[in-house]
């Protein structure tokens, strides 16, 4: 195996590791957003956990953050929470998820 081949394998492994990390971060941030939204909707316990889990699985199917923001914003529209607020909260959740995962790596 040449040095070039080893280098290529290293880059491919790093790419796969980074993709897995971002997948986990996105799933965790969607769960955090779901738990926050469930609280805004007055849900607790199993109902809140179910709402959060649905956001995670919906994202697996649609693969877009815009879809997640749209769903939560639609659910919270009656509570006076704007789409922009939901998008900002999702960013906060993503930062929180990244920090949690980084802490777990160490």
The whole-angstrom distance between residue 11's C-alpha and the CA centroid of its chain comes to 25
Range of the domain at 93: 33-105
**Terminal-to-terminal C-alpha distance of the chain:** 32
- Summarize pLDDT for 12-43 with one digit per residue, the tens: 888 998 899 999 999 999 999 999 999 999 99
Element (H, E) at 8: helix 3-40
For the record, the structure tokens of 59 come out as 């994202």
Is the residue at 50 inside a domain?
yes
Is the residue at 13 inside a domain?
no
* Residue-wise burial string across 71-106, b where 16 or more C-beta atoms lie within 10 A, e elsewhere: bbbebbeeeebeeeebbebbeebbeebbeeeeeeee
Is the residue at 3 inside a domain?
no
Is the residue at 70 inside a domain?
yes
Say what the pTM is.
0.86
Task: State the total domains in the chain.
Answer: 1
Averaged confidence pLDDT in the chain: 91
- Summarize pLDDT for 40-90 with one digit per residue, the tens: 999 999 999 999 999 999 877 776 889 999 999 999 999 999 999 999 999
Is the residue at 61 inside a domain?
yes
Q: Could you give the CA distance from residue 52 to residue 63 in angstroms, rounded to a whole number?
A: 16
pLDDT value at 9 more than 90: no
Is the residue at 66 inside a domain?
yes
Is the residue at 19 inside a domain?
no
């Amino acid at each position: 195996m040449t040095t070039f081949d080893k280098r290529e394998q290293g880059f491919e492994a790093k790419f796969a590791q980074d993709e897995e990390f971002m997948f986990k971060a996105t799933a965790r941030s969607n769960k955090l957003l779901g738990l926050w939204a469930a609280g805004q909707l007055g849900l607790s316990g199993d109902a809140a956990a179910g709402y959060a889990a649905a956001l995670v699985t919906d994202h697996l199917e649609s693969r877009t953050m815009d879809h997640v923001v749209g769903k939560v914003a639609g659910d919270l529209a009656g509570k006076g929470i704007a789409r922009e607020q939901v998008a900002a909260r999702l960013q906060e959740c993503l930062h929180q998820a990244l920090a949690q995962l980084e802490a777990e790596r160490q």
